[in-house]
């Protein structure tokens, strides 16, 4: 069913072939505005394989100027990533092949190369593609990183930088890229922002999303990410800044567009922390502060933003399992406290329940085994007693008893291994 936004876009698109150059550009600017208003469902309903094929034919038949088509397509890609629409229709369209061919042609030009068109085409291709041939991936990554290094402070330039980094963030963790193709550039982008604070919140997040996605294949990057670029410190700073930009007491539908934007960026930060938390082995004060920041996000978001709340639970569960933070740290930074509060909520869904139980089972195993670098048995017993006192104080023993018979069910609906005897591990060994 057509909505106001989709109808407006469709009508404007239908008029493009009958317009002169100036009229065509104006209509495309209006179409970009209509895109911004669309929700994920509307966006997917408009951008079909048929639409992309038609754009390709219009370019080939010169019914739309290439420059104007790019102006539209780079916004399609931008909002595709921003709205997490994940439209797959570009993959099977003739337009994908066409754009890829033009990129390669531009790359091989020795003279008269239009750098802006080249950069914009790379933005379109990367932000709309999921299966990217190695040659095009290499060309586009280098091009977009170079574009993102632009240090001009004008609003127009910073918007283009944001688009370039957002496109790069669309390259998932399964796309392996050689370190030499990105490491120096992305490091310079991050360091420059740390010195001058020149990127938007979304651009800086996108730079880190691209970098952390590379961490999946290169765990030896941990020293660069944590010791040189201080990811935990930077993520903490960003989360704290973003929390100040939102009135979290409002329901989602009551928020302004600006507040909604900051909520979405906060959610993306929490999501991207998980692969880092899962793989991180460095223990530092910065990491401990990051866990406390996640707890703070959980507290402000738990009433009106269910998805962020669930992502925070998952992050804290991973922190308990990863051992990058001692159990004392989890207690001191209130991670244990918020999970205890959450598991007693009557509205908790099955998935969140699994994550909460996994959190406590991980702590139980760690208390039994002892921390890897903790040789002092008396200290280990004191930590166990401290954890037990906190859990007993909140009534967790009664909760685990009530969940004991349901453990096999929760194990069956999650990827996590939750043994049926796990709920009593903590108390057996105290």
pLDDT given for residue 145 in this prediction: 97
Residue whose entry in the numeric block shows the structure tokens 């410190």: 233
pLDDT at position 425 over 50: no
Confirm whether 235 is domain-assigned.
Answer: no
Query: In angstroms, rounded to a whole number, what is the distance separating the alpha carbons of residues 202 and 205?
Result: 5
Q: How confident is the model at residue 401 (pLDDT cuts 50, 70, 90)?
A: low
Which of residues 99, 131, 163 is at a domain's end?
A: 131
| Calpha distance 391→394 (Å, rounded) | 5
Q: Is residue 20 part of a domain?
A: yes
Q: Is 53 a member of any domain?
A: yes
d(CA 401, CA 154): 60
pLDDT 10s digits, 223-248: 899 889 999 999 999 999 999 999 99
pLDDT in tens, 367-399: 777 665 555 666 666 766 666 666 666 555 555
Within-domain flag for 197: no
> How many domains is the chain partitioned into structurally?
2
Domain assignment of residue 334, yes or no? no
Cβ pair 301, 248 in contact under 8 A: yes
Q: Report the 10 Å Cβ neighbour count for 313.
A: 26
What tokens appear for 139 in the block? 């060309």
Residue 288 and residue 296 in contact, taking contact as beta carbons nearer than 8 Å:
no
pLDDT at 411: 56
Q: What are phi and psi of 302, to 5 degrees?
A: -65, -30
Domain that holds residue 62: 1-131
Q: Which of 131, 160, 182 is the last residue of a domain?
A: 131
Mean pLDDT check: name the lowest of 3-17, 173-187, 229-243. 173-187
pLDDT in tens, 111-167: 778 899 999 999 999 999 988 999 999 999 999 999 999 999 899 999 999 999 999
Cβ atoms of residues 295 and 335 within 8 Å: yes
- Using the 3D structure, point to which of 104, 131, 158 is the last residue of a domain: 131
Decide if 311 is inside a domain: no
Q: How confident is the model at residue 30 (pLDDT cuts 50, 70, 90)?
A: very high
* Largest CA-CA distance found in the chain, in angstroms, rounded: 82
Q: What is the pLDDT of residue 422?
A: 41
Neighbours of 380 (CB within 10 A): 18
Least confident of 27-36, 161-170, 276-285: 276-285
Q: What is the 3-state secondary structure (H, E, C) of the chain?
A: CCCHHHHHHHHHHHHHHHCCHHHHHHHHHHHHHHHHHCCHHHHHHHCCHHHHHHHHHHHHCCCCCHHHHHHHHHHHHHHHHHCCCCCCCCCCCHHHHHHHHHHHHHHHCCCCCCHHHHHHHHHHHHHHCCCCCHHHHHHHHHHHHHHHCCCCCCHHHHHHHHHHHHHHCCCCCCCCCCHHHCHHHHHHHHHHHHHHCCCCHHHHHHHHHHHHHHHCCCHHHHHHHHHHCCHHHHHHHHHHHHHHCCCCCCCHHHCCHHHHHHHHHHHHHHHHHHHHHHHCCCCCHHHHHHHHHHHHHHHHHCCCCHHHHHHHHHHHHHHHHHCCCCHHHHHHCCHHHHHHHHHCCCCCCHHHHHHHHHHHHHHHHHHHHCCCCCCCHHHHHHHHHHHHHHHHHCCHHHHHHHHHHHHHHHHHCCCCCCCCCHHHHHHHCC
Q: What is the pLDDT of residues 182-204, one digit of tens each?
A: 999 999 999 999 999 999 999 99
Rounded to an integer, what distance in angstroms lies between the CA atom of residue 383 and that of residue 386? 5
Cα separation of 125 and 96, whole Å?
7
Is residue 149 situated within a structural domain?
no
Angstrom distances, CA of residue 40 to CA of 88, 180, 312: 13, 36, 23
Q: Does residue 239 lie in a domain region?
A: no
Better-predicted residue by pLDDT, 354 or 8: 8
Overall average pLDDT of the 292-319 stretch: 94
What is the pLDDT, as a whole number, of residue 383? 67
């Amino acid at each position: 069913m057509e909505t106001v936004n989709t109808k407006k876009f469709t009508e404007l698109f239908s008029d493009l072939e009958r317009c002169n150059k100036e009229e065509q550009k104006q209509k495309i600017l209006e179409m970009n505005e209509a895109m911004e208003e669309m929700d994920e469902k509307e966006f997917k309903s408009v951008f079909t394989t048929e639409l992309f094929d038609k754009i390709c034919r219009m370019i080939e038949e010169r019914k739309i100027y290439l420059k104007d088509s790019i102006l539209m397509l780079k916004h399609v890609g931008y909002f595709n990533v921003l709205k997490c629409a994940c439209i797959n229709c570009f993959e099977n369209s003739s337009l994908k092949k066409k754009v890829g061919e033009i990129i390669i042609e531009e790359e091989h030009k020795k003279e008269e190369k239009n750098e802006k068109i080249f950069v914009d085409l790379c933005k379109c291709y990367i932000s709309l593609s999921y299966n990217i041939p190695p040659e095009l991936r290499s060309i586009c990554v280098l091009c977009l990183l170079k574009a993102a290094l632009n240090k001009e402070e004008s609003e127009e330039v910073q918007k283009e930088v944001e688009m370039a980094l957002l496109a790069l963030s669309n390259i998932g963790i399964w796309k392996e890229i050689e370190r030499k193709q990105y490491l120096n550039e992305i490091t310079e982008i991050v360091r420059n922002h740390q010195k001058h604070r020149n990127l938007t919140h979304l651009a800086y997040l996108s730079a880190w999303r691209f970098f952390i996605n590379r961490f999946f294949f290169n765990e030896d990057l941990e020293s660069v990410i944590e010791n040189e670029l201080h990811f935990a410190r930077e993520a903490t700073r960003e989360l704290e800044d973003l929390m100040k930009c939102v009135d979290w007491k409002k329901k989602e539908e009551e928020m302004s567009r600006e507040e909604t934007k900051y909520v979405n960026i906060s959610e993306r930060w929490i999501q991207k922390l998980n692969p880092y938390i899962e793989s991180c082995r460095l223990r530092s004060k910065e990491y401990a502060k990051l866990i406390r920041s996640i707890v703070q996000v959980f507290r402000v978001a738990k009433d009106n933003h269910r998805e962020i709340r669930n992502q925070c639970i998952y992050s804290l569960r991973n922190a308990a399992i990863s051992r990058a933070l001692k159990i004392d740290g989890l207690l001191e930074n209130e991670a244990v406290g918020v999970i205890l509060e959450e598991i007693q909520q009557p509205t908790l869904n099955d998935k969140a329940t699994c994550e909460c139980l996994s959190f406590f089972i991980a702590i139980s195993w760690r208390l039994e085994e002892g921390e890897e670098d903790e040789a002092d048995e008396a200290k280990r017993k004191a930590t166990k007693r401290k954890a037990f006192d906190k859990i007993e104080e909140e009534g967790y023993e009664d909760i685990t008893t009530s969940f004991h018979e349901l453990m096999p069910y929760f194990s069956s609906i999650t990827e996590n291994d939750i043994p049926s005897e796990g709920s009593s591990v903590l108390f057996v060994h105290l």
